[in-house]
Amino acid sequence: MQRQGLTLIELLVVLSVIAVLMGITFGGLTRSRGGEGLESVASLTANLIRQARHTAISSGAPVELRVRENAQGRHEISGISQLLIHGEQFEDSTTFAMSDLPLGFAGYGFPVQASHSWQASSARIALLRRDSDSFFGELYYRPPAIHPGEDPILLVSIAYSANGDPLDVGLYPPADPGGEWRAFVGIDGGPEAEAPIPLQAGSFTRIGWSYGDGRLELLLDQQSAATIQWAPHDLSGTHTLQITFGSDDPDHDLGIIDNFRLMRLGANNPVLLPVGIEPEDDYRLLITPDGRVFSPDSELTGNDTTDWIFGYIGPGEGLYEEATLTIDAVGRVSIYTPLQKPPGNPDEEN
């Protein structure tokens, strides 16, 4: 049965965003002047980054956070948003034209040797704002007890436009029983993010993928396994969204998939910055389920950091002229202003 309504995690995310908005509205942020407003914005942004990282880890899905200029020329902070486009637990044997669905991860599962397609309504298609949003998908897979042969196993194929190649997620079985399985995500005949995956007969393994900003990443048990550069489809033609499950190979036992979900990682509920406080640039972070932080252009690794700089451009009313947020690869944040010591020891928030 297709999931209806909101999960507890999604409800908590919504309540957290509402709480932040109420804190801004009633806390007088928009009435702050000078250094007080600048410091308030920096503190708010740092807290949102920490909250986004906590949400990504607890929900098992990436989170985006942005600071950007809107159409009216005002700057705003937006996020945290995880919008479910489609979720499937394969509980209705009638829907999937099968008399008996196999035992899955949570209830029933779907045998990969079969095939079933789901077509989005026009309302769901409208959610695909590919120009600015990222996407995340995942499923659970249990391999067959008997070696399935050497042919690739297609788990799910996602078509975003009628004139573009679908995004495929699947597995390369080992040449011999007991050998190494490999998971992949990519375009048929094009580049693929591929990595070894430890599979055990009778056990489910979590396979995920995320993409946005020209990046396509393969996630295995919520850990990054491979990343490639990937340009999204051109949606200027006929819009569609079709998800096809399975390989349509009834002659072989290819295992079971379960608990599929596809999410749009948008950025909504924007909060306007106080007049006179502007970021040095438009900023964007993607926090993955394993807690890693990406800047728009490159992954932060090791001791690397990225700086978000906010400046006050009012008529000299404030104590500070500039505030800098320093963010490292695991999401730790420090705030620096000219009246404070330079960043060097980000405050621990893990």
**DSSP annotation string for 300-325:** --TT-EEEEEEEE-SSS-SS-SEEEE
- Judgement on whether residues 230 and 102 belong to the same structural domain of the protein: yes
What confidence tier does 92 reach under pLDDT thresholds 50, 70, 90? confident
Please tell me which residue, 341 or 285, carries the higher pLDDT value.
285
Average pLDDT value for residue range 155-161: 85
Whole-number pLDDT of residue 73:
83
Domain count, the chain: 2
Q: Mention every residue, 6+ apart, whose C-beta is less than 8 A from residue 15.
A: none
What tokens appear for 185 in the block? Answer: 């995500």
Whole-number pLDDT of residue 173:
94
Whole-number pLDDT of residue 12:
62
Alpha helices, H only, the chain:
8-27, 34-59, 122-125
Which among 265, 290, 323 is the end of a domain? 265
Amino acid at 5: G
- Judgement on whether residues 57 and 92 belong to the same structural domain of the protein: no
The CATH number given to whatever domain includes residue 108 is: 2.60.120.200
Query: Which of 32-36, 37-41, 201-205, 207-211 is least confident?
Result: 32-36
Distance CA 147, CA 255 (A): 10
pLDDT at 28 over 60: no
pLDDT at 302 over 80: no
Q: Collapsing DSSP states into helix, strand and coil, what is residue 91?
A: coil
Q: Collapsing DSSP states into helix, strand and coil, what is residue 302?
A: coil
Q: Domain span at residue 286?
A: 8-81+267-336
Which among 265, 283, 317 is the end of a domain? 265
pLDDT at 284 over 60: yes
Query: Which of 42-56, 133-147, 172-186, 260-274 is least confident?
Result: 260-274
pLDDT in tens, 39-60: 778 888 888 888 888 888 888 8
- Judgement on whether residues 283 and 203 belong to the same structural domain of the protein: no
Distance CA 339, CA 106 (A): 54
- For residue 176, tell me if it sits in a domain: yes
Count Cβ atoms below 10 Å from residue 304 Cβ, excluding itself: 13
Distance CA 347, CA 340 (A): 14
Q: Please report, to the nearest 10 degrees, the dihedral formed by the alpha carbons of residues 337, 343, 348, 350 taken in order.
A: 90
The CATH number given to whatever domain includes residue 324 is: 3.55.40
Average pLDDT value for residue range 276-304: 72
Residue-averaged pLDDT of the chain: 76
pLDDT at 26 over 60: no
pLDDT at 185 over 70: yes
**DSSP annotation string for 180-245:** -EEEEEEETTS-EEEEEE---TT--EEEEEEEETTEEEEEETTEEEEEEE-PPPP-SS-EEEEEEE
- For residue 2, tell me if it sits in a domain: no
- For residue 342, tell me if it sits in a domain: no
What confidence tier does 127 reach under pLDDT thresholds 50, 70, 90? low
Average pLDDT value for residue range 320-347: 66
Amino acid at 282: D
What confidence tier does 180 reach under pLDDT thresholds 50, 70, 90? very high
pLDDT at 82 over 90: no
Asked if 221 contacts 205 with a C-beta cutoff of 8 angstroms, the reply is: yes
- Judgement on whether residues 238 and 283 belong to the same structural domain of the protein: no
- Judgement on whether residues 158 and 88 belong to the same structural domain of the protein: yes
Whole-number pLDDT of residue 27:
41
pLDDT at 256 over 90: yes
pLDDT at 319 over 50: no
Whole-number pLDDT of residue 345:
45
Which residues on adjacent β-strands are paired with residue 219?
208, 224
Give me the sign of the Cα torsion angle 223, 226, 230, 236.
negative
Whole-number pLDDT of residue 246:
93
pLDDT in tens, 103-117: 887 778 999 999 999
Asked if 258 contacts 204 with a C-beta cutoff of 8 angstroms, the reply is: yes
Whole-number pLDDT of residue 259:
92
Distance CA 265, CA 64 (A): 6
Average pLDDT value for residue range 182-193: 88
Which among 211, 231, 265 is the end of a domain? 265
- Greatest alpha-carbon pair distance for the chain in Å reads 76
